[in-house]
């Protein structure tokens, strides 16, 4: 266990270092001058005053060698200081934490919704593979994969906000305003979760220990409840963690369409505006959370399925 | 024409097709003034297209939000209908010497924190803007040397050179005046520190700003109890919110949503000329576009009517030149250029043009419609034997080559009034020989002389005549091909009263803005 924790901590540190350095380099390896991008994010317009460019570059330390700039940020970060946003000149933490709270809420709701839908559908499919119900469920849920969020979101707005007038079109005010963005984000996880549960159920139903249990006199229903379903759900924990990590920073389209002030928008805007400290702070938090959640998922997986314990160690 | 247009962004297309039963009711007009009575207990919701990014720094574009929301006020104000600068927090002004302008500060004004507006507080506010690390376009040390209080009620603004446009600069939202308590070090806190009809009381970061009525407003009774300004960057979402009634006013409606809104009950769509003209920039400094006949041939080959009708779906009008016809400096005889392929071919022949290499047009990707515009131009130029290749690039990626003169043509659009309500900055930066943003690499002594004269001409009408003359030179020399004048489009619920559209979205909520009960 100690070896496992050590390995994961090392992974976390490496991931933070690599991701923060990669984000740091983005403004320098993409076309355009980072300082001009910062200025244009504050005062729209193409023509930029050269003296302002020089002054801002100097005051932000952007004339220093890249290595010096990165090491300065890294040093501050490990003392708990995420720095000031280049654009707003406010502490990065004050922007990242509220956005993270919003996104965590949105992602949790989306995945809870996805699990609530996928579990019964996957179990029904897995217990009757090849049946009409299985085919219908598979067809419908697989179709969700082909529905991009920028298409689903306006359709949901059309139906629930414009036609039925039961939900708001956008915003992040109360539970009702979270329904459409959560539903939009949940569709693809529903598809993957259903597929994973179905496969897990089919595998578990054919396992030797289930056959043995039935041979010992356990009824069909009891064998499903005690052995098939619990074992069939094991793969879901890992999949759940992967989606959780992915949606933390990957919900930008939904956040823009529904005007949700989350991490996706924050990271997108910060990269577009060359706001390096904000982008670095945001990415580091997302990466750390992603590594943490997947580590937790591995523990859960181990708890549910002791046979993987050796591989974890 | 549509057959070769690329599909638009799917969100926008879907919104057009689905947000309402399709159809054009054609109710685009200036405000339909309801006869219903104002209900002073009503609050209003405005969907704005930008969110504050610079922590309410007045020198940044955040000032637009504070101004449109009826919080931030300036010494002068640009009256769109009159086409001139009028008093606001200053009651009058005069040029006391070639380098000095004196402004008399209004005496009956208090900030929302109860302190009085004085010459000293104005000086402090304006100097804060001058000292900003990223200075405002309209008001910075390059054109303003100092701001001082002459006495308790008079502020002197001095310039390094004679500058007749100082009153215009003080109409810029970036010169908005906040109470001294609003400025702590480099930070600005507008809450309770404005002079306007609405007091900001709370903010949801990246989401909205809530304001209450200023009961002690110097400009009279405020007709609304309060307001919420929402920051909705997605145009289709803004359109949907005004359609459902979640928003009362939605600014900057995208073309793709117009059809749905025009047929929606309870919504009025308002349009006005914006100071933006989509332009085909041509590199006057590089062959073959250094030949005026080649440039004229390209201009004559373009079918602007078709362009406006197809790509812009009627939400933009064919351009007549570098200015919109409604602008006071546009001059007489503003007629759109008609496509004339025969004349274009003759001009090419007289220029000795040979299609040695395909010309390249850069369509910046930040404007999604430019890909379609480029395709239309490609087809138009093909008709006169000019092969054209299209490069889609981010503006930041294209800028170094464009500024260095290593390009043929660029599709872009500039806001002529982005700094002040006068095009002097645009005409100087974009077209003078030493212009800092001369994308066309155009240089003409007569043009420079006219602009230099305009820069020191105090009388607005005389100055506008000079601008018109300069515009004629640009047209005669076909420096660029001006394609379409974009329209500023807002959507307003029909129970909103006394709403006057501002194409630059500086003034949206005023003391007179009202709502009826239904």
**A172 shares contact with chain B (CB less than 8 Å):** yes
Least confident of B68-77, B87-96, B408-417: B408-417
Report which secondary-structure segment, H or E, holds B490. Answer: strand B480-493
What is the rounded distance in angstroms from the CA atom of residue B356 to the CA atom of residue B32? Answer: 56
Asked if B134 and A42 come within 8 Å (Cβ–Cβ), the reply is yes
Helix, strand, coil shares of chain A, percent, nearest 5, are 80, 0, 20
Per DSSP, chain A holds a count of helices (H) and strands (E) of: 16, 0
Residues 39-68 of A with CB under 8 A from B: 39, 41-47, 49-52, 55-56, 59
Distances from the Cα of A149 to the Cαs of A101, A206, A248, B135, B368, in angstroms? 22, 37, 15, 39, 19
What is the rounded distance in angstroms from the CA atom of residue B516 to the CA atom of residue A201? Answer: 61
Asked if A49 and B140 come within 8 Å (Cβ–Cβ), the reply is yes
Distances from the Cα of A134 to the Cαs of A141, A194, B104, in angstroms? 11, 11, 80
The pLDDT, as a whole number, for residue B338 is 86
How long a stretch of residues is chain B?
518
How long a stretch of residues is chain A?
313
**Of B53, B137, B393, Cβ closest to residue A87:** B53
Can you tell me the mean pLDDT for B484-495? 92
The pLDDT, as a whole number, for residue A83 is 84
The b/e string for A9-40 (b: 16+ C-beta within 10 A; e otherwise) is eeebeebbeebbeebbebbeeeebbbbbbbbb
Q: How far is B204 from chain A (nearest CA, A)?
A: 9
What is the rounded distance in angstroms from the CA atom of residue A102 to the CA atom of residue A106? Answer: 6
The pLDDT, as a whole number, for residue B8 is 37
Reported confidence tier of residue B30, pLDDT bands at 50, 70, 90 = very low
What is the CB neighbour count within 10 angstroms for residue A51? Answer: 12
Give the tens place of pLDDT for each residue, A180-192. 999 999 999 999 9
Pick the closest to residue A73 from A285, A265, A291, A278 (CA basis).
Answer: A278
* HSE toward the beta carbon, residue B391, CA cutoff 13 A: 16
Task: Say whether pLDDT at B25 is over 90.
Answer: no
Asked if A88 and B55 come within 8 Å (Cβ–Cβ), the reply is yes
Mutation target for B interface from A36, A170, A174, A260: give the one with most B CBs within 10 A: A170
What is the rounded distance in angstroms from the CA atom of residue B241 to the CA atom of residue A157? Answer: 10
Least confident of B5-19, B27-41, B255-269, B340-354: B5-19
**Of A47, A87, A154, Cβ closest to residue B15:** A154
Task: Say whether pLDDT at B382 is over 90.
Answer: yes
The pLDDT, as a whole number, for residue B398 is 87
Partners of residue A168 in chain B, C-beta under 8 Å: 244, 246
Pick the closest to residue B256 from B9, B424, B470, B39 (CA basis).
Answer: B9
Q: How far is CA A179 from the centre of its chain?
A: 18
What is the rounded distance in angstroms from the CA atom of residue B420 to the CA atom of residue B416? Answer: 9
Tell me the two tokens of residue B28: 């685009």
**A37 shares contact with chain B (CB less than 8 Å):** yes
For residue B117, report the phi and psi dihedrals to the nearest 5 degrees: -75, 120
The pLDDT, as a whole number, for residue A249 is 73
**A181 shares contact with chain B (CB less than 8 Å):** no
Distances from the Cα of A153 to the Cαs of A169, A269, B21, B449, in angstroms? 10, 20, 18, 55
Give the tens place of pLDDT for each residue, B31-61. 444 567 889 999 999 999 988 888 898 988 8
Task: Say whether pLDDT at B423 is over 60.
Answer: yes
The pLDDT, as a whole number, for residue B22 is 31
Peptide bond into B288 cis (omega under 30): yes
Q: Give the chain A residue whose CA is nearest to the CA of B246.
A: A168
Q: How far is A309 from chain B (nearest CA, A)?
A: 45
Asked if A162 and B240 come within 8 Å (Cβ–Cβ), the reply is yes
Which of A198-207, B350-359, B438-447 holds the top average pLDDT?
A: B438-447
Nearest-10 crossing angle of helices B255-262, B10-18: 10
**Which residues of chain A register pLDDT less than 70?**
1, 44-46, 304-313
Task: Say whether pLDDT at B269 is over 60.
Answer: yes
Partners of residue B429 in chain A, C-beta under 8 Å: 47
Give the tens place of pLDDT for each residue, B285-296. 999 999 999 999
**Of A47, A99, A161, Cβ closest to residue B437:** A47
Give the tens place of pLDDT for each residue, B188-210. 899 999 999 999 999 998 899 99
Q: How far is B218 from chain A (nearest CA, A)?
A: 30
Share of chain B above pLDDT 90, in %: 65
Partners of residue B53 in chain A, C-beta under 8 Å: 41-42, 87-88, 269, 273
DSSP letter, residue B32? -
Asked if B241 and A50 come within 8 Å (Cβ–Cβ), the reply is no
Give the tens place of pLDDT for each residue, A211-226. 888 888 888 788 888 8
Residues 186-245 of A with CB under 8 A from B: none
* HSE toward the beta carbon, residue B249, CA cutoff 13 A: 29
Q: Give the chain B residue whose CA is nearest to the CA of A29.
A: B397
Strands B249-250 and B480-493: antiparallel
Q: Is ipTM strictly over 0.85?
A: no
Asked if A56 and B133 come within 8 Å (Cβ–Cβ), the reply is yes
Q: How far is CA B164 from the centre of its chain?
A: 21
Q: What is the mean pLDDT of chain B?
A: 88
Q: How far is A246 from chain B (nearest CA, A)?
A: 23
3-state secondary structure of B322: coil
**Is residue A41 within 8 Å of residue B62, measured between CB atoms?**
no
What single string gives the DSSP state of each residue in B401-459? HHHHT--SEEEEEEETTSSSSSTHHHHHHHHSTT-TT-TT----HHHHHHHHHHTT--S
The pLDDT, as a whole number, for residue B32 is 46
Strands B514-515 and B480-493: unpaired
Reported confidence tier of residue B71, pLDDT bands at 50, 70, 90 = very high
Residue that is written with structure tokens 């599709």 in the block: B411
**Is residue B46 within 8 Å of residue B69, measured between CB atoms?**
yes
Asked if A56 and B134 come within 8 Å (Cβ–Cβ), the reply is yes
3-state secondary structure of B275: strand
Tell me the two tokens of residue B138: 């309209």
Asked if A259 and B234 come within 8 Å (Cβ–Cβ), the reply is yes
What is the distance in angstroms between the CA of the first residue and the CA of the last residue of chain A? 6
The pLDDT, as a whole number, for residue B34 is 54
């Amino acid at each position: 266990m100690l070896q496992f924790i050590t390995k994961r901590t090392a992974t976390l540190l490496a991931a933070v270092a690599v991701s923060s350095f990669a984000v740091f380099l983005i403004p320098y390896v993409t076309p355009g001058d980072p300082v001009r991008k910062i200025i244009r994010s504050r005062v729209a317009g193409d023509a930029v005053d050269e003296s302002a460019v020089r002054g801002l570059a100097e005051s932000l330390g952007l004339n220093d060698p890249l290595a010096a700039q990165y090491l300065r940020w890294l040093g501050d970060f490990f003392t708990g200081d995420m720095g000031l946003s280049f654009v707003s000149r406010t502490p990065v933490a004050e922007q990242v934490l509220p956005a993270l709270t919003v996104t965590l809420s949105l992602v949790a709701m989306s995945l809870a919704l996805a699990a609530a839908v996928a579990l019964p559908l996957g179990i029904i499919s897995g217990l009757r593979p090849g049946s009409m119900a299985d085919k219908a469920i598979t067809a419908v849920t697989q179709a969700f994969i082909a529905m991009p969020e920028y298409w689903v979101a306006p359709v949901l707005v059309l139906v629930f906000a414009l036609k039925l007038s039961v939900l708001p079109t956008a915003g992040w005010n109360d539970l009702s305003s979270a329904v459409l963005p959560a539903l939009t984000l949940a569709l693809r996880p529903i598809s993957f979760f259903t597929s994973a549960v179905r496969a897990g159920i089919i595998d578990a139903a054919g396992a030797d220990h289930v056959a043995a249990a039935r041979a010992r006199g356990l009824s069909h229903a009891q064998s499903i409840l005690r052995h098939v379903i619990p074992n069939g759900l094991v793969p879901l924990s890992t999949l759940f963690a992967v989606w959780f990590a992915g949606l933390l920073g990957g919900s930008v389209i939904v956040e823009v369409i529904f005007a949700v002030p989350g991490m996706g928008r924050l990271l997108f805007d910060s990269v577009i505006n060359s706001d390096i400290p904000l982008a670095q702070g945001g990415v580091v938090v997302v990466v750390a959370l992603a590594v943490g959640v997947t580590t937790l998922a591995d523990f859960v997986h181990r708890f549910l399925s002791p046979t993987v314990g050796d591989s974890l160690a | 024409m549509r057959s070769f247009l690329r599909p638009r962004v799917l969100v926008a297309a879907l919104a057009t097709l689905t947000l309402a039963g399709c159809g054009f009711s054609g109710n685009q007009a200036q405000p339909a003034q309801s006869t219903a009575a104002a209900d002073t207990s009503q609050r209003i919701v405005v969907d704005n297209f930008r969110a504050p990014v610079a922590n309410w720094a007045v020198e940044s574009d955040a000032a637009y939000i504070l101004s449109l929301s009826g919080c931030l006020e300036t010494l002068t104000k640009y009256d769109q209908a009159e086409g001139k600068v009028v008093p606001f927090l200053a009651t009058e002004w005069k040029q006391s010497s070639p380098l000095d302008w004196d402004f008399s500060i209004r005496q009956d004004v208090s900030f929302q924190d109860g302190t009085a507006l004085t010459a000293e507080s104005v000086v402090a506010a304006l100097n804060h803007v001058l000292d900003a690390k990223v200075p405002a376009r309209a008001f910075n040390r390059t054109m303003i040397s100092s701001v001082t209080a002459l006495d308790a009620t008079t502020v002197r603004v001095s310039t390094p050179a004679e500058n007749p446009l100082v009153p215009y600069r003080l109409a810029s939202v970036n010169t908005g005046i906040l109470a001294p308590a609003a400025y702590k070090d480099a930070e600005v806190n507008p809450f309770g520190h404005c002079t306007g009809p609405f007091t900001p009381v709370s903010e949801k970061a990246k989401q909205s700003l809530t304001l209450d009525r200023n009961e002690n407003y110097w400009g009279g009774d405020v007709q609304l109890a309060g307001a919420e300004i929402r920051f909705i960057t997605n145009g289709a979402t803004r359109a949907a919110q005004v359609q459902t009634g979640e928003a009362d006013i939605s600014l900057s409606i995208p073309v793709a949503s117009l059809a749905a809104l025009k047929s929606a009950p309870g919504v009025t769509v308002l349009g006005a000329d914006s100071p933006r003209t989509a332009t085909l920039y041509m590199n006057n400094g590089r062959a073959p576009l250094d030949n005026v006949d080649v440039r004229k041939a390209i201009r004559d080959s373009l079918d602007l009517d078709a362009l406006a009708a197809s790509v812009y779906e009627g939400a933009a009008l064919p351009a007549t030149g570098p200015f919109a016809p409604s602008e006071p400096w546009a001059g007489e005889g503003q007629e759109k250029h008609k496509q004339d392929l025969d004349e274009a071919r003759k001009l090419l022949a007289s220029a000795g043009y040979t299609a040695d290499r395909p010309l390249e047009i850069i369509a910046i990707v930040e404007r999604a419609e430019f890909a379609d515009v480029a395709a239309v131009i490609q087809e138009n130029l093909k008709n006169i034997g000019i092969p054209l290749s299209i490069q889609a690039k981010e503006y930041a990626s294209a800028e170094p080559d464009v500024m260095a003169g290593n390009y043929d043509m660029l599709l872009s659009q500039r806001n002529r009034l982005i700094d002040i309500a006068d095009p002097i900055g645009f005409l100087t930066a974009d077209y003078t020989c030493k212009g800092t943003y001369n994308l066309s690499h155009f240089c003409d002594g007569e043009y420079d002389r006219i602009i230099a004269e305009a820069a020191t001409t105090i009388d607005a009408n005389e100055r506008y005549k000079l601008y018109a003359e300069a515009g004629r030179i640009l047209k005669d020399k076909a420096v660029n091909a001006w394609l379409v004048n974009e329209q500023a489009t807002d959507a307003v619920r029909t129970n909103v009263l006394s709403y006057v559209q501002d194409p630059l979205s500086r003034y949206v909520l005023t003391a007179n803005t009202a709502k009826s009960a239904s």
